[in-house]
Amino acid sequence: MTSLALDVGGREVHVADTGWPGGRQAPVILLASGLAGAWFDWAGVQALLEPHARVIVMDRPGCGDSPPPEEPVAADLVGCADDLVGVLDACGVGSAVLVGHSMGAWYAEAAARLHPRRVSAVVLVDGSVCEGDETAPEQDSSLVATLITAADRTVGWQWLGPLLRRLGDRGLPTGEWGRRHRERSARTYARAHVWRTIATEDAAYARLRHELAQLRRTHPLPAIPVHVVTALAGSVPIRWSWWGRQQRRQTEALAADNPTAQVTREVIRPARHMVMLQHPDRVADAILRTSVQVRRHI
């Protein structure tokens, strides 16, 4: 795996690229994190996919190991989708299977709708749900920005940032991979600009959801395999789970969007939202099965 700094739309974007596994006939898989995610969250999945595909993980500007843009910009659905395609351009890739986790699922879906020739399949890993197209005021992130600056000038992010990330992970992953993950988190989340980027994206959540709802009206889903992976805790029946019902309705909406698209769904349980940390084998298997569907679809 090679870490690269790419020029994407005039901004520096960090990617982790496994390279071709033995020939350019292998599929290309591009992994995109959600809110507060970083490239190393996919390390276990990437290692399992590496023998079968060229696997690229990107950090959006200001996230992970990507530096923040010179001029702060609000999160934008079309811009994030274009960044995914921009990474493919910078890596010399024509088309790829796009995998998005959480909010990253919105960016992957948007890229498929806006750039259908560049996306051969989409895997939505416990993706954020988009229902309706109601508008909502953007959250005011000024207070959060003030708190981030105050923390930077007082206690510092060297210990606070990694602590917040560990609390979010709740002990995942474990073993040797867990140790390396904590070391990488300690470096990445000690940076104040990462938390400013997280605050900016979180403040734009309602607007991004609205933008995707509008995009679904104007840009149909292409006829490609779309696989929805849902993480559920315990053994409660899906019909009794609010999140399970939300995920099922989203899958049904995608299937109704284009009946020629191959929309499928699976549930991984027991699992938390950061399912790629908890079950990298099952997430990798879901992605590989989708890439096989691409070859059959063609």
Q: What is the pLDDT of residues 73-87, one digit of tens each?
A: 678 899 999 999 999
Separation between Cα atoms, residue 261 and residue 221, nearest integer Å: 7
Q: Quick check: 12 pLDDT over 60?
A: yes
61-76 pLDDT, tens per residue? Answer: 999 999 998 776 678 8
Instruction: Tell which residue, 177, 259, 211, has the closest CA to residue 77.
Output: 211
Average pLDDT, the chain: 90
Q: Residue 95 and residue 142: Cα distance in Å, rounded?
A: 39
Separation between Cα atoms, residue 114 and residue 218, nearest integer Å? 10
* Spatial distance between the Cα atoms of 213 and 206, rounded to a whole number of angstroms: 11
Beta pairing partners, 274? none
47 pLDDT tier (thresholds 50, 70, 90): very high
Cβ–Cβ under 8 Å, residues 98 and 119: yes
Q: What is the mean pLDDT of residues 143-167?
A: 75
Give the type of residue at 228.
V
Contact (CB, 8 A) for 190 and 158: yes
The pLDDT > 70 percentage for the chain reads 90
d(CA 233, CA 268): 9
**2-8 and 262-268 beta bridge pairing:** unpaired
Q: Which of the two residues, 293 and 245, has the higher pLDDT score?
A: 245
Q: Is the pLDDT of residue 298 over 50?
A: no
Q: Which domains does the chain have, with CATH numbers?
A: 2-134+205-297 (3.40.50.1820)
Would you place residue 144 in the very low, low, confident or very high pLDDT band (cuts 50, 70, 90)? low
The token duo for 139 is 């959250």
pTM across the whole model:
0.92
Residue type, position 143, single letter: L
Contacts of 174 (CB under 8 A, 6+ apart): none
Residue 243's contacts (CB-CB under 8 Å, 6 or more residues apart) are 230, 232
Name the CA radius of gyration of the chain, rounded: 18
| Token couple for 246 | 């939300």
In the three-class reduction of DSSP (H, G, I as helix; E, B as strand; rest coil), residue 12 is classed as strand
> First CA to last CA across the chain, in angstroms?
29
The whole-angstrom separation of Cα 136 and Cα 212 is 13
pLDDT in the model for residue 231:
96
